[in-house]
Amino acid sequence: MNILNDIKISFLPESILLIFIILNIILSLFINKYTYKISKIINITALLFVFVAMFFTQISPTYYAFNNCFISNTYTLAFKLMVLICGFIFLVSSNNLIKIKRQMSFEFFAILLTTILSGFSLISSNDFLCIFISMEILSISICFLIAYRKNEKSKEIALKYIITSIISSLLFLFGVSLIYGLTGNINIDLINITLKSGGINAFFVISSVLIIIGLMFKLACIPFHNWIIDVNEGADYNVCLYISIMPKTAAIALILKLYFYIFVYSPILQILTAIIAVISLFYSAIGAVKESNIKKIFAYSSIMHSSFILITTSLINLYAISSVIFYVIVYIIMNISIWLASYIHNMTYNSDNIEDYKGLYYQSPYYTITFVISLLSLAGFPPFSGFISKIYIFSALARQDIVYFILLLCVLIASVIGIFCYFKIIKNFFEKSKTIINVTGKFRKLKIILYVCTFLTVLIGIMPSALIKLSEIIANYI
């Protein structure tokens, strides 16, 4: 095993991230709070280096590094690019956090780069030891981001998050220990070979259920969903934006791989996963309709979309995997739009209640139109990308047997219920209000990102074929 060659061919982006994490920690000891702007320049440079390095890694054929523990291919590259984009958006939108704690700017960016590093590792991990270590580093880093402000609310939310994370990790580890006892391996490829030869029994089903329950924490599905509602209520908007897409993207990459190579041998688990996803879908749709706090509505929306992804993942075929990849890409774009739009409003008006969005259209029409387009896309209305992604998901479900057809009907009903929460927000935009809400001319960087994401939402909705084809290519390399 040539370690240097493995690093050069498959681990170069992660190595660059590790170097800049160490650099941030060292600089935090010597640079004072008045030079905090340097930290942002250094870390934007870091992400640019990582982006370039990703295209120097071997992706075809699949490269197995570090004794088959780490893989590099088109599938891992695609998901790493998604994670990197999430990290870049968070970095650009983090001015308010850095200014509040200027003396801790380098520590903040060290944590941010650590989340990206652990996300990359989670995507490329090919055995359960690497998966577990990556998951734990990601969870701890996210916890630090939540508690960054160091007020009572953020500390309370961070504590709730870490306790729930510990419970899910224990269940995950218990499941892995049973898998190891059954197959004698923790490597995904070797476990797949063992299961192919007929090593399936009740212990396999139990272990698989425990592993999936542990991973459901990352997707915020029932029963591990409360943390995302608490986080969205108390954390900053840009932190909520990052947490709602980045860990979920890395977790989905892992879950797709586990279902395709391991859980495919348990039909009971597939049906059970689909049923849990449908329950989560109804719960989140009804919960969102009841809410008036926009951050909590987006939390329930996140659970809703995770449920769409989970039910499709349980199908375990290449068409379903490509539909999930397409959905994840579209979801990232839509989620960036709605969170940036609401963040801009909050920075202007300092309110989370949807009642305070009244009259927004009459003061800032262009900004409001982008917000409306993003919300309609999330609701699944044509001609936007959200509509195409839902049709793709529904078509994957419709191709299955009668059980999944019944579940598809349930998904359609829950989707209709969920539409009302988005219309509840949109309705307020066009109601008259005496309060002046004007966001014109402010937050130029954030608005550029918002308008670009809105343009992509419309473009993909009108011309989805290229992205669908790309999703199919990525799925073939799983």
Q: In 220-293, which ranges are continuous DSSP H helix?
A: 226-234, 237-261, 267-290
pLDDT of amino acid 434: 66
Encoded amino acid at 85, one letter: I
Alpha-carbon distance of 123 to 134, in angstroms, equals 9
Per-residue 3-state assignment (H helix, E strand, C coil) for 174-210: HHHHHHHHHHCCCEHHHHHHHHHCCCCCHHHHHHHHH
Alpha-carbon distance of 60 to 370, in angstroms, equals 39
Residues 367-416 have pLDDT tens digits of 889 999 999 999 888 889 989 999 998 888 888 877 788 888 888 888 88
Sign of CA dihedral 179, 183, 186, 188: negative
Residue spans per domain, the chain: 266-478
Judge residue 220's burial from the number of C-beta atoms within 10 Å of its C-beta, 0-12 exposed, 13-18 middle, 19 or more buried: buried
In degrees rounded to 5, what are phi and psi of residue 291? -80, 155
In degrees rounded to 5, what are phi and psi of residue 301? -60, -40
Percentage above 90 pLDDT, the chain: 32
CA dihedral 174, 180, 186, 190 (to 10 degrees): -140
Token couple for 48: 């640019």
Alpha-carbon distance of 90 to 241, in angstroms, equals 8
Confidence check: pLDDT of 73 > 70: yes
**Band of the pLDDT at 76, cuts 50, 70, 90?**
very high
pLDDT average, residue stretch 278-305: 88
Residues 185-209 have pLDDT tens digits of 899 988 988 888 776 778 888 888 8
Among the residue ranges 26-30, 134-138, 223-227, 280-284, the one predicted with the least confidence is 223-227
Which residues are bridge partners to 63 per DSSP? Answer: 72
- Which segment, 52-61, 82-91, 357-366, is predicted with the most confidence on average? 82-91
Contacts of 471 (CB under 8 A, 6+ apart): 322, 323, 325, 326, 329
Closest CA to 137 of 154, 156, 120, 149: 120
CA dihedral 406, 412, 256, 161 (to 10 degrees): -120
The answer to whether 90 and 236 have CB atoms below 8 angstroms apart is no
pLDDT of amino acid 436: 60
Confidence check: pLDDT of 305 > 80: yes
pLDDT of amino acid 382: 85
Token couple for 252: 């989905």
In degrees rounded to 5, what are phi and psi of residue 164? -65, -40
pLDDT average, residue stretch 82-107: 83
pLDDT of amino acid 1: 55
For 271, other C-beta atoms within 10 Å of its C-beta total: 14
Phi-psi region at 391: left, alpha or beta (left = phi > 0; alpha = psi -120 to 50): alpha
Peptide bond into 61 cis (omega under 30): yes
Alpha-carbon distance of 369 to 50, in angstroms, equals 35
Alpha-carbon distance of 24 to 38, in angstroms, equals 11
Q: In 314-401, which ranges are continuous DSSP H helix?
A: 318-349, 360-363, 365-379, 385-398
Which residues are bridge partners to 187 per DSSP? Answer: 127
DSSP codes of every residue in 395-458:
HHHHTS-HHHHHHHHHHHHHHHHHHHHHHHHHHHHTS--SS----TTS-HHHHHHHHHHHHHHH
